[in-house]
Every structure is written in C-alpha cells, then in structure tokens.
Chain A
C-alpha cells in the first residue's frame, strides 16, 4: 500500500529494476509509506452496529433485523447504526430497508459527525534520517438511531 504523501509532486516508489525513465523523474528527497490507523474505537453496547464495506450487505441487514426482533430474548427497542466514510451510504441504506420492512413502524433519527483519523507516514529514505510523521484527517460519519416510537407517544 504505497501511496505518496502529497498528491502534487508524486514521488515514485522505485521498483526492483532501476530503469532510466524512473530515475529521471524528479524525486522528493524523502519518501513515505502511508499506513492508516484504525478509527478510534469507543465502547460498544449490544445494540450498536458498525457498518463496513467488507461484510455482505444482506448479512448486515439481517443482523440489524435480528437485533430488533430479538431471537427469543426480546429485541432491543432501538439500535444505533454507525457508518464512516464510504460506509455512510450503506448505513443509510440499511436503516431505510429496516424501516420499509417494518411497514414504517420504525422511526429513524440520523446524526452526522466528524471523525478524526490518524495516518502514519513512515520514511522510506535510504539514509534513515527522516522522522516518522503522523497526520490527521477528518472523515464524515453517520449515526442512525432506528427505534420503535413509544406506544403512548
């Protein structure tokens, strides 16, 4: 996962065979390897669902449905679906699907937030003089509360 530090003057990672063309390119003196850290984890309740892009969509939907229905133990009245970045779309999708399948008895309340992410930049220079850098960037997140409204309300 080699990605340049900045998009504009992209240093190229030289490859096993030094070819003339690659050497001619103007190189950043120090190259870095980007390593993304995991987003910060918060303690998770049982009714929190973190949506990702790797798991099958159907499986995630079924998991939310199961939490609401409750497999024998009585379901939760509300669940929270969290999505970060690319998964926001999917989180919304899941919430809407849940609502639709419940004949609109479920209600939805969405909150957005910004999550700070940390990237590590490790120097790749031959002299090993470069300090490792850390940079932060922000990403959007969504937290959707899917709940049954109070019966009296």
Chain B
C-alpha cells in the first residue's frame, strides 16, 4: 500500500469509532453493510471469524457473491445501537461542520441562491448567516480601504463658514470671478485659461442676446482680463513701448488723444523690434491723465489671460525691469487711513506690493488655519502663491511694472442703451455732512472730499455724467472716451423689482442742449478722466471697508419707514469707478458703430454690489459665447480664435483641434463624415503655413513672381513664418481692390476724382506686394449672396470663369458642386483594423504594404514625392493624368479642366493631389494613426486639392442676424487673393466661393476687407 493510500485511509478513519478497523492486507468482498454486520456478528458472538478479517470492507469484490455462512441468528437491539452510537455521532459531526469558508453559498442549492445575498446576509437562511457575515467583514477589511467617513450633513455643509471654506478650496486651482456664484447658478461654466467662466446661459437666449446687443444692453463680466500697470517717466515708457508696436499697424501708445488719458486705445503688440513677425496679441490700454504734482505717468494695459505671461516677460525685457520686488509678508495688515488726494498718489511709492501682500497673506492664513479664524472670502487672485512677485522695477529707467490681475473688476455693457443702464444704476457720490468732514476718518471718501479741488472735480464729473441722460444712444459719444467718477454704493438705490432702463424724455429735457452737444463733439474733458481708482491706496481702502451685505440689511431693517432709501449714505459707501466707452464697429461701411457700449471698472470686492443693480436694470447677461458673436458681428478678429500667428492663437488651435477630433471620434464610425470624400483636407485645423508657402510657389511657378532676382532672393531665404497682415495702408488698398468697380463705391470715388488716381490693381503692384508681404494672411469678411450658412473651417476658394459666367447668367444660382472624391485610405484603414483585431503583427504589415502597392496605378508615379515639393513638379507629365482622372471620376465637371481662370501651375499642382496620396504616406508609424475619413498627417497640396483653388479658411461663420444672410470671417492668403482678383473681370471683382467642410456645395460670397 502506497503512502498516499495510507494517508487517505487515515483521514477516512479519523472520525470513525474506535471499533471500526480497517484491515490492511486483505480486500474483502462484501459491502459496508455486510462488513458491518460481520463486525457486529463478531462482536456479538465474541469470537473471531477465521477467514474474515473482521474489518471494514468496501468495494465490489470479485467473489462478492459468496457471503459468509455464519450470519447471526438474532440481534440484540441495545448492543446493536450502542455499537453504532459513536459511528452515528461522528457522521452527524461531519455533516454539521462546513469544511471551507468559501462554500457558504455553495451550501445552498442552486435554485435558492440569490445575487444580492453577498451584500445582504439577511437574505441567507439563518443557519448560514453567521458565516456569511464573517466573510463579508473579512473581505471589507482586506480587500478595500476603509469606507470613507460619512460626509457632513447638508445643513452643516451649507453653514456659512463651511461653505466659504469649501468655496475657497474649489477656487484654488481655477480662479473664480466675483460673480462666480451668480453665474454658476445660471450658466454653463467652463474652466478656461485658469478661470471658471460662464460660457452661455442654461436657458435659451441666443436671439434675445442679439437683440439686447443691438437695441438695449448686454452685460458681460470681463474681470478675467489681466491688467498690467506701468509707472514711470513718460519718455521712458514711450520709448520702451514703441519697440513693441509699429505705427504701420495704426495708432500706438503715443497717439495724442490716448496719451492725454482722454481715450482708451487698442493696439496689437509684437515681440520687441520684431514687427511684423512674432505678434503677441491685441491689448487695450489706458493712460492716467497727467497730474500737476508728478512727472511719472501711469498706464494700464489690459490683455487676455492667455497673453499675460508673454506680455509680462516682453514688457520686463523692454523696460529692463529685471528686479523683482519680493513681497514682504506682513503679519498684521492695518487698514491705514489714507490721506490721499488723487494727485499726490500719482507718484505712488512702491509700498503698494507690501500692502497688497498683506491682504493676500491674510487670505492664505484664512485658508490654512480656518479652525482658529473664520474663513475669509477671496477677492482677487486666489491661485497665486503669496511669495510670487507681482512687481518688477528697474533702477535704470525708473519704470515699475505691476501685475494687477484680478485687482480691478471690469464689466462690459454692450448696446445702444448701456448709458441709460449706467445712469440709472449709478448715482454720483453724495457729499458727506459737515461734522463728519471735520473728524479724521479711516475711510477714503471723507478724507478725499476735504480738499476743495477734489470736490470741484467731482462736481464736474457729476455734471458730465448727468449729461449722459440726455443722450439717446451710446454711439453718440466719441469712441473710447473715459469718464472718472465716484458713486454711491448702488445697493442703496436698488429698485424693488427688476425693470428696464429706457432713455427718459422728461429727464432729457432738463439737460442743457449746448453741453450735450459739446459732449458728443469733443467728448469728456480731460480733467474729468481722472479717477481715484488709479490710486492703489484708495482701491484697497474701498475694498477693505465695503459694507457687508449683512450689515447693510441690518441698517435697512432699522429704518423707520420700511423700504425707504437709506439716508444719509454711510461714509464707507463710496466707490471710485472708471467708465470707458467702447467704440463699436469702426471699420467698413455696414452697420457703423454697431455694438458700442461702456466698460465699467471697479475696485476688487465691489463686483457683486454693482452686478445685481445692473441686472435689475433689465440688461441681459451673456458669457463667452456671446463675446465671440459680438466680435463676429463687428467683423473684428476675436482673440485668441482669430490670431493664428500669435503663440496664444496657435495654442488655441491645438486645443480646438483636439476638441473637434474628440468630438469626431465619439461618433460611431458609420455616422462620421468622411472628410476625404468631401475633399476637405483639414477639417479640424487650418494649415496656414502650408497655404502660404504653396501660394508663394504657385506665384513663382507662373512667373508672376516676375524678376529672377526676387526669385533668387526667396530661394535663399529660409521659409518664413506666416503672419497676419495688419499694415493699415496695405489693408486699405486691398479693401479698395476688393470692391467691384460698378457698385455704390463708385460714387465715392468720383468725388475724389481730382486726386491722383489711387494705385490701381495691376500685375506690377501685385508683384511688389508679393515681394513685401508674400507670407501674409489677410483678415476678410465674406457675405453669402444667396442662401447658406458657413461653418467653422469652411474653405474659401476661387471661382473659375465658368462659375462667374454662370452667376451672371442667373444671379440666384446655387453655385458649383465639388465632385465626390475617392477615399483611397479606406482600404488601408480596414486592413489596419483587421490586423489589429487579429494581432498578427509583422505578417500583416507586409500585407498592408502589398495592398498599398497594388491599390492603383497612379500612385506609383510619384511615390517619392514629398507634398511640399509637389507644386514644383514638372507640369508636363501631369495634365494628361489630370484629364483622365477627371473624366473618370467626374463626368459632370466639364470645362474647368481647360478654363484659363486657373493658370497652368495650379492645374499642375491639382494633378498630384488628385492622385492616390497613400503613396506618400510613410511607414507603419502613420499606419497606427489612420482614422477613417481624415487625411493622415503629411497633407497633400492644400491649395489645389479640390476643383477650385483654395485661398484660405473661415474661422468664424454663422448666419448673421444683423445682415440677414450667412456671414463668415476668415483669413486668406494675400498672394492668393491678389492672384485671384487680378484674373476677375472688374465688375465681378471680389466674388469668391465658400464651401463647408462637410458639404460639396460651393456658394458664392462677396469678400470685403474692412480697413
């Protein structure tokens, strides 16, 4: 007997009663019963059977049929039972005991098992519960981490202090504007540029917002715009800043009316001395009016948050402000009384940062040991670390740069009645009573009003502000005017119901007509542009001493007549503000000054106290979506969407591409647009650089780049980066050229007939423009002639002669159609997918290559050609191929192959792109990234991919509610545009074609360049 068998036997015998034996050598016949009986018999009889082992016998024995002869004649029941008692006991014990722990549920028959039993032990039969419970606990302990501690109750969470703590925690990563809570309740919020911003309201209001913009007032919170403050001697500032701008692109920082502080200016900044390359982006700027006491000037530059870092580093470079003022942490912030006249404070000592630091320090502490101190609401930048420098100064030039991000609240009111909203919501500050004046006060206004000259200024400003009531539309004020003002806390005059601010005829009658006329003609006088908001001490004082909502309500409740106005105004309830007029649409002839309005600048902390009163005056509130639409209706490029040459714009393009790609791949493959079939190379991202380079090639090829010497020059120069044309002279010239000669513009030209004829569009001028601005893109507006709604990244194409003839035959025609392209990648995508499924590995790759090779005949022809080299290919080999392909693929396309509208070279470059591009696709690396319906990365020629030559792409397009037709804004290649214009008959000049990425229909559009 082997050891294993022994062990097994031992195990079996463990629970057996002692009298049961197991005879080792002999396997006897007879079942258990017979053996037992035999044993019993032995026991009873007391003698041993000779031939029978008297043991446990089991199994079927060969000679089993023979039973022993000596069966007992009788059985004594008591003996019998006693002998088996132990055995039965052992058996019961074995039955009751469960062997393995995991078999708790196994103990139940299948039909009684339920899924939820593992969670809820009460579903088990009682006898199994205990074990199951044990198991459950064990698995909870070992398998997972401890169950999280129970969240606080809602009531506890909503308690003020806890809520503030929670809010402060949540705005550590993304800054919140002061109106965040208000917006978050009503808007779809986006986390963008380090802020939480409202995108669009949750309710439907697209049209309502448009109506508000064009006939009443639309409100936006623009506090996320970053303000950078420069202080220093005027000449130093101007000389430093002039390196960032160019007069070629319009007025700069030095423009007279801006420099005096009467107007806000806007300018596009470039890298220092880099114009026209390396643009940074557009900024708004505002000079503080000169003051008698100080020679230093103060300048605010407002820019988009994506622009801020570039702007700051560039400014530091040109101002030579390398010395960062490390903020000194001040432990006890003292809201010192500020004996501040606005004039004195112009030369503000750089103790500002320390003061500011104090407040931010306070915030920090409030966050950290909130148990000891009540949490403080964050005003200003909550994400910045307290030791991060915000001030830089230069010993050499004396310029101080301050980062005022989130220090000033900026609200934008758009619409012709925005001044009415302002005049109703704001109330010029009332004078303090006499005895209050005599006392020393820690609030800024009583101190400020002690000086007579300040009060005189305040009265003047109040007069100008009252004049606004007599104005019917915000457009009557000269664009960019600035008005400084001190106003009462607008919460005190909050109406009980929301109402709609309208210009009041009765009030208008009271206004002096002469003064109103002066205001509309000359704008706000220079003195009145001064404001205490420029002064940091005043700002901080106003912020620190704001009456809390609670306090205000308590004061209201103590009024004798409930609901009456709180009088006199508490001394801390005065706020310095700046009103800055925003000119509307200034360029172009349609809808002049559409979208004009006012910007309201406030010290930080006063955001909500002004927001609600404005909303109560019937304005509509909009978010980011509407600011895009606003600039679209104005025809202005919107930052960063329409600045692909800026770094911020390039970054935005990357993000947009990723987002669109993500959206595309979320659709099931069968429902995706096949952009290859639609002949759209870049539905998600516009390859501007490639476009510009290709057009340069085309012009060179046709010999229209003319002189050999310029050709040589461009050859030697490495490929320049594209830039957007912002030179006003060239823009103006282009805008004239884009107009058809026989339109209303003619009348205007006739009046200036005596002038020497402006340079007309001819090849010579075009060539010189190509030489100087060859790598430029031009911002243009396209309005569709008939129906159609242009979309993002729609292609702008040149119509052929045939198309133009068609249009003149029937002016309401739809436009030509693009023939359907063939998707040569389809097969490869499929194969790649199959290969992936099978995980075949190398064998599959080889087969893919094979298929590519056998895919078509054409692709073999220039398998070595690189897309960038394509347009330079020999045209001679190509036309035949083009023709055949056209005939095969598009029988409908009749004549454009041999029209002379597109010159020889575009045709030549049409050809290679029509071929199978898969030949140019390199190895298996790109194989992985193949997506059905999208061109893989090395794009073929973008200009000549379709039957019409591409000029550019649309960056904003929609049905324009203002114009009543589809309108688009986009960038086109300057070279291409001139090339196209030169070939168009003068009466049809400026007609182009637009085609959406997911459509084959071209639509006629008129191009306008507004300058």
List residues of A whose CB falls within 8 A of some B CB.
Answer: 1-4, 7, 10, 12-17, 19, 21-22, 25, 35-38, 40-43, 118, 120, 123, 126, 128-132, 134, 136
Contact = CB atoms under 8 A, between A and B. Distances in A.
A42 B759 CA distance: 42
Kindly list the 6 A-B residue pairs having the minimum CB-CB distance in the complex, ordered from nearest.
Answer: A10-B755, A16-B730, A17-B768, A15-B733, A15-B759, A41-B473
Contacts of A129: 256
Given A10-B752, A17-B765, A131-B256, A118 B586 contact: no
Contacts of B769: 16-17
A134 B522 contact: yes
A17 B593 contact: no
A21 B729 contact: no
A17 B247 contact: no
B87 to A, nearest CB: 105
Contacts of A2: 732
B901 interface: no
Interface in B683-735: 727, 729-730, 732-733
Nearest to B522: A134
B590 to A, nearest CB: 8
Contacts of A37: 475-476, 592-593
B759 A19 contact: yes
B252 interface: yes
B587 to A, nearest CB: 8
Given A15-B759, A41-B476, A43-B505, 13 more contacts: A1-B748, A3-B751, A12-B755, A16-B730, A16-B773, A35-B592, A37-B593, A40-B476, A41-B475, A42-B472, A43-B472, A120-B478, A120-B479
Nearest to B584: A38
Nearest to B257: A132
Contacts of B586: 35
B503 interface: yes
A128 B756 contact: no
Contacts of B751: 3, 7
A16 B733 contact: yes
Contacts of A126: 247
B521 interface: yes
Contact of A1 (B589, B729, B765): B589
Contacts of A131: 256-257
21 contacts: A3-B751, A4-B752, A7-B751, A10-B755, A13-B758, A15-B730, A15-B733, A15-B765, A16-B727, A16-B773, A17-B768, A19-B759, A21-B756, A35-B592, A38-B473, A38-B475, A38-B593, A118-B476, A120-B478, A123-B256, A134-B521
Given A3-B748, A7-B754, A17 B472 contact: no
A130 B608 CA distance: 41
B593 A12 contact: no
Contacts of A25: 756
B755 A4 contact: yes
A126 B772 CA distance: 20
Nearest to B472: A41
Interface string B575-592: 000000000001011001
A38 B585 CA distance: 11
B251 interface: yes
A79 B504 CA distance: 23
B256 A22 contact: no
Contact of B729 (A16, A134, A136): A16
Nearest to B504: A43
Nearest to A135: B521
Contacts of B505: 43
B140 interface: no
Which of B478, B522, B729 has most A Cβ within 10 Å? B729
Nearest to A2: B732
Contact of A128 (B256, B479, B589, B730): B256
Interface in B286-340: none
Nearest to A131: B256
Contacts of A120: 478-479
A1 B732 CA distance: 8
B254 interface: yes
A16 B593 CA distance: 27
B255 interface: yes
Nearest to B252: A128
Contacts of A15: 729-730, 732-733, 758-759, 765
Given A42-B472, A43-B472, A36 B755 contact: no
Given A2-B732, A134-B478, A16 B256 contact: no
A133 B768 CA distance: 34
A130 B255 CA distance: 8
A38 to B, nearest CB: 5
A17 B255 contact: no
A12 B733 contact: no
Which one of A3, A15, A131 has the greatest number of beta carbons of chain B within 10 Å?
A15
A41 B732 CA distance: 30
B266 interface: no
A3 B752 contact: yes
A120 to B, nearest CB: 7
A13 to B, nearest CB: 6
A44 to B, nearest CB: 10
A40 B773 CA distance: 41
A2 B751 CA distance: 12
A7 B478 CA distance: 24
Contacts of A136: 521
B472 A40 contact: yes
Contacts of B252: 128
B984 interface: no
Contacts of A21: 756
B762 to A, nearest CB: 11
A1 B773 CA distance: 22
Contacts of B522: 134
A90 B454 CA distance: 54
Given A10-B752, A16-B772, A37-B592, A130 B256 contact: yes
A1 B416 CA distance: 24
Contacts of A12: 755-756, 758
Nearest to B733: A15
B520 interface: yes
A125 B78 CA distance: 133
Interface string B605-636: 00000000000000000000000000000000
Nearest to A129: B256
Contacts of B589: 1
A13 B505 CA distance: 44
A30 to B, nearest CB: 11
Interface in B491-517: 503, 505
Contacts of A3: 748, 751-752
B759 A22 contact: yes
A144 B804 CA distance: 43
Of the candidates A14, A132, A136, the one having the most CB atoms from chain B within 10 angstroms of its own CB is: A132
Contacts of B520: 118
A13 B732 CA distance: 9
A87 B206 CA distance: 33
A126 B246 CA distance: 10
